[in-house]
Each structure stands twice: as structure tokens, then as C-alpha cells.
Amino acid sequence: MQDITIPVAFCQGVKWKPRPSTKVPGTCGACGKELVKRQHWFCPSPPGFRNPQGYNPDSCRYLYLINHIWGYARDAAIKRDGGKCRRCGGDAEERTPYAGRGGRVLYHTVVAAEVNHIVPREGAGYARGCHNHQDNLETVCHKDHLLITAEQRGYVPGGKQRDAQVRRQERDLEKLSRWRESAGVVDDPDYLEGMYILATGDLDGEV
């Protein structure tokens, strides 16, 4: 795994705002130092190496991006984890080799590596925010990502689930039972067991 050095001060919290004008004081959105000259968002980037995205990896701007902007945060998490799934330890990306020009072996990506929010977003989207901090991200393979999402949505190992559809079926069963009781219909045990299985999918349950 490749380590990405992230200092303690890389975020000033959700209340931080960029400097509106050079006439008023402001602080860097990453390290919190006072901004000078014409800087509005972050400290000046140090000279030297630039990554393929055009940023110095040690700059405050880049540290902010990989901890708040989803695209940057996702790529940084995959690089940090060396492309390995944090759950199973295997390759998070599935690739197939093919022959290129000059006998070179090239690779075609079948399934791209995926990144999971440890604290789930639950449909809240991927907008800029502190939920994209690197310590809240983990690289996972597609299979494990499906399992994580299934667990978060209430699917239980073994095929049983308590989702909205099942709850609606159970409510319908209760309504039917109340109607049968009010109509004086005697419930047959085999009938009730069949309705229970239909509503819950529990073949081993007892009415």
C-alpha cells in the first residue's frame, strides 16, 4: 500500500469559507494559517513536483481536494490502498490482458476498483464535504461493495430480508387477519402458515 501523508490540520470544518476579498483577513481551508497577498482559499503551493493532476502533493490545495471532493478523494484512496480491497485483500480492479502492438501485453479493465464510505451516505450523494475524508474511505472490490451495501439496506445473510416490501406484506397480512376475524371466518392453521411464508420468506418459522 502507498501511504499518503496527511497532516492533522487538513480541514477547518464545514463553517470555513474562502476569503471574500484581499481587504479582509482569512485562513487557509486546509492548514488554518492566515492567508496573505492574493490568496483566497489556500496557502501558496510550494514549487517543485506536480502530479498528473497538476498539483503539488504537499500543497494545502491538494490535501483539501483529496479529503473533500469525491473524484480526487476516490482516486487518492485507491492509490493509498495500492488498488487492494480492504475487506478481502484481493485486487479491487478486475482486468483482462490482451496483445498490443509490438507484442506488448496491455490490460482492459473489466470491473473498476470501487471506494466505499465507511459511514454510509444512505442516498445523500457525493457532493463536496467532510464525509469524503480519507479516514472515512476504503477501497473495495465490486463483490464486497455489493455485500456492504446489502447489509446497510437490511439484507440478512441466508436470504432473509426486512425491507419495505416485506413490511408492506406483513401489514397486508395483519389487515387480512383482522378482516377474517371480524367476518367470523375460522382461520385454518395451514392457511396461516402459508400466508406467513408468503409474507416473510421464512420456511422454518412457526405461526
Q: 56-89 pLDDT, tens per residue?
A: 888 999 999 999 999 999 999 999 999 999 999 9
Residue range of the domain that includes 183: 164-200
137 with 174, same domain: the answer is no
Q: How far, in Å, CA of 126 to CA of 123, rounded?
A: 9
Say if residue 63 is in the same domain as residue 98. Answer: no
Q: Let me know if residue 76 belongs to a domain.
A: no
Same domain, 170 and 140: no
On whether both 176 and 148 belong to a single domain, the answer is no
Task: Judge if 133 and 174 occupy the same domain.
Answer: no
Q: Give the Cα separation of 46 and 18 in Å (integer).
A: 20
How high is the pLDDT of residue 157?
A: 54
Instruction: Determine, yes or no, domain membership for 136.
Output: yes
Note whether residue 73 is domain-resident. Answer: no
Residue 49 and residue 37 in contact, taking contact as beta carbons nearer than 8 Å: no
For the chain, how many structural domains are there in total? 3
Contact, 136 vs 119, CB < 8 A? yes
Q: Among 68, 100, 126, which residue terminates a domain?
A: 68
Tell me the CA end-to-end span of the chain in Å, nearest whole number. 53
Q: What is the pLDDT of residues 128-162, one digit of tens each?
A: 889 999 999 999 998 899 889 888 877 655 455 55
Which of 14-18, 131-135, 187-191, 201-205 is modeled with the greatest confidence? 131-135
